[in-house]
Amino acid sequence: MYFKMFKAQGLAHLSYMLGNQGSAIIVDPKRDIEEYLEAAQAEGLKIEYILETHRQEDFIMGSAGLQAITGAKIVGGSHEIFNHCDLNLKEKQTLEVGNFTFKVFDTPGHTPESVCYALYLQDKEQCWGVFTGDALFIGDTGRTDLIDPDKTKENAFLLYDSINKKLKPLGEQTLLFPAHGSGSVCGGALASYDRSTLGFELGYNPVFTMSRDEFARHKLHERIPKPPYFELMEEINLNGGKAISGAPSNIEVLSPEMLKEKTKSNGVIIDTRLPEAFASGHIEGSYSVWLEGLAVFGGWILEEDTYVYLVMERESDLEKSFEFLSRLGVGKIKGFLAGGFEAWRDKGLPIEASGYIPVSKLKDGWDDCLIYDVREINEYEDEGHIPGSRHCYVGHLEDCIDEANIPHDQKIVVTCTVGHRGGLGTSIFLRKGYKNVHNLAGGMKAWNQLNLKTEGAQ
């Protein structure tokens, strides 16, 4: 028996490959499928089944691409969203592969079509593990506001019942294999570990420790932003996603002059260096999105066909950047700046800078500045914020600025948890023509380390 968990950075998406008697099964594949193909070849396994727990909304699925190459059968539940599947399993129907028996359970709540697959090993009566998709995470559950924010509560009830009535009976011994794991850039209540059991979750996961009503209130309180590209995903994933086109090695190498020319009329520049480097100097008009952040925030600032030009710390970051945007299915990387920002700088081309201020500086004065906290609303409200700071989630900042009508010479400080989203926020202000914009070094983490005053912490 072969078992491997694949973790995609940034989204912290988890997918799985199981092998048995020469056959491999992939659960919830990501779009960049090379890893699966290579692992299967190295193990001498033929990929025969692709199991989908639900239609993913935060990345393009790899089912269609994998099927095109391997001929594997796509398996889903019985909801019409699974119409693209080759095999639609109804509640409690089973799929046998070698010594494995997968048993399907309809577990709506996160999305209406969600299913879980309980895996039984040969001759063993008890369930070994369960693939839960976005229904049940370690320490958390999937959001219930996604399909219709007005039905968050109803969906929370649905989810509560799905998990308590269908998964809980699988037994405390059951290993948990969800579709998202620790380390998501976006924060959230997921545990910091990627191994757990149903029994362990019983002790502290809200879906088990709360009453049905408490749980619904808890979900209502979540208010997680929904990036604009989710709608695109939903459409593409109706067909099991689509294969990646292009390759990082095909991306054009640009000189500073060529970059200038290319971006004159079309496309955006994304600077993937760390916020400190961006603050000292960068190309005017560029977004600051640190490398790992691209995996998430690319989905907020790019549309499917936006032309993207990269300014990177190291040329070897190109592959990861390509991978991150490919998963989201947004942006077309048309080129990168050869030699990075240094090449631009050494040509004497115009450099823009922003401020980067330590917490110590902000606390002593700067009364005249306007502080924007660009974290999620729950982080702002529940974890405390700097007194007097305004809130606007970084993904909505462009609109906020347009509405706020602030004079362009106003001194602005942007903050988040440690300064990454703050860097993006800073670059958005700069793009809007603000000249006196500063990123708070270390963000709220540094602020709290110094025990400075906050408002609103629970």
Give residues 247-276 in contact with a copy of itself (rule: CB under 8 A). Answer: 249-255, 258, 273-276
Shortest distance, position 152 Cβ to a copy of itself, whole Å: 27
Q: Which amino acid is at 10?
A: G
With contacts defined by CB under 8 A, name the span among 103-111, 339-347, 385-393, 397-405 that binds a copy of itself.
339-347
Pick from 194, 222, 323, 379: which binds a copy of itself (CB under 8 A)? 194
For residues 101 and 197, which CB has a smaller minimum distance to a copy of itself in the complex? Answer: 197
Strand-pair partners of 253: 336
H, E, C per residue of the chain: CEEEEEEECCCCEEEEEEEECCEEEEECCECCCHHHHHHHHHHCCEEEEEECCCCCCCCCECHHHHHHHHCCEEEECCCHHHCCCCEECCCCCEEEECCEEEEEEECCCCCCCCEEEEEEECCCCCCCEEEEECCECCCCECCCCCCCHHHHHHHHHHHHHHHHHHHHHHCCCCEEEECECCCCCCCCCCCCCCCCEHHHHHCCCHHHHCCHHHHHHHHHCCCCCCCCCHHHHHHHHCCCCCCCCCCHHHCEEECHHHHHHHCCCCCEEEECCCHHHHHHCECCCCEECCHHHHHHHHHHHCCCCCEEEEECCCHHHHHHHHHHHHHHCCCEEEEEECCHHHHHHHCCCCCECCEEEEHHHHHCCCCCCEEEECCCHHHHHHCCECCCCEECCHHHHHHHHHHHCCCCCCCEEEECCCCHHHHHHHHHHHHCCCCCEEEEECHHHHHHHCCCCCECCC
Using rule CB under 8 A, residue 112 touches a copy of itself? no
Is 199 among the residues that bind a copy of itself (CB under 8 A)?
yes
Please tell me whether residue 374 binds a copy of itself under the rule CB under 8 A. no
The sign one gets for the Cα dihedral 444, 445, 449, 455 is positive
Task: Supply the minimum distance, in Å, between the C-beta of residue 193 and a copy of itself.
Answer: 5
Return the range that interacts with a copy of itself (CB under 8 A); candidates 144-152, 277-285, 321-329, 425-433.
277-285
Q: Considering only residues 53-72, where is the footprint of a copy of itself by CB under 8 A?
A: 69-70
Only one of the segments 32-40, 56-64, 229-237, 390-398 lies at the binding site for a copy of itself (rule: CB under 8 A); that segment is 32-40
Count of chain residues binding a copy of itself (CB under 8 A): 91
188 binds a copy of itself per the rule CB under 8 A: no
Residue closer to a copy of itself, measured from CB, 253 or 404: 253
Residue 404 Cβ vs a copy of itself, minimum distance, rounded to whole Å: 26
Q: Which stretch binds a copy of itself (CB under 8 A): 73-81, 143-151, 331-339, 402-410?
A: 331-339
Closer by beta carbon to a copy of itself, 54 or else 438: 438
Looking at residues 225 to 244 of the shown chain, list those that interact with a copy of itself (rule: CB under 8 A). none
Q: How far is the CB of 93 from a copy of itself (least distance, A)?
A: 23
366 touches a copy of itself (CB under 8 A): no
| CA separation for the pair 241, 7 (Å, rounded) | 18
Stretch in the footprint of a copy of itself (CB under 8 A) among 103-111, 125-133, 219-227, 392-400: 125-133
Applying the rule CB under 8 A, the residues between 392 and 421 that interact with a copy of itself are 418-419
What is the footprint of a copy of itself within residues 156-175 (CB under 8 A)?
A: 171-175
Residue 280 engages a copy of itself in binding (rule: CB under 8 A): yes
Q: Does 210 bind a copy of itself (CB under 8 A)?
A: no
Minimum distance from CB of 441 to a copy of itself (Å)? 5
Q: How far apart are CA 144 and CA 121, in angstroms?
A: 32
Is residue 450 part of the contact set for a copy of itself (CB under 8 A)? Answer: yes
Binding part of the chain for a copy of itself, among 157-165, 314-322, 389-397, 399-407 by CB under 8 A, reads 314-322
216 or 251: CB nearest a copy of itself: 251
Contact between 284 and a copy of itself by CB under 8 A: the answer reads no
Longest dimension (CA), the chain: 73
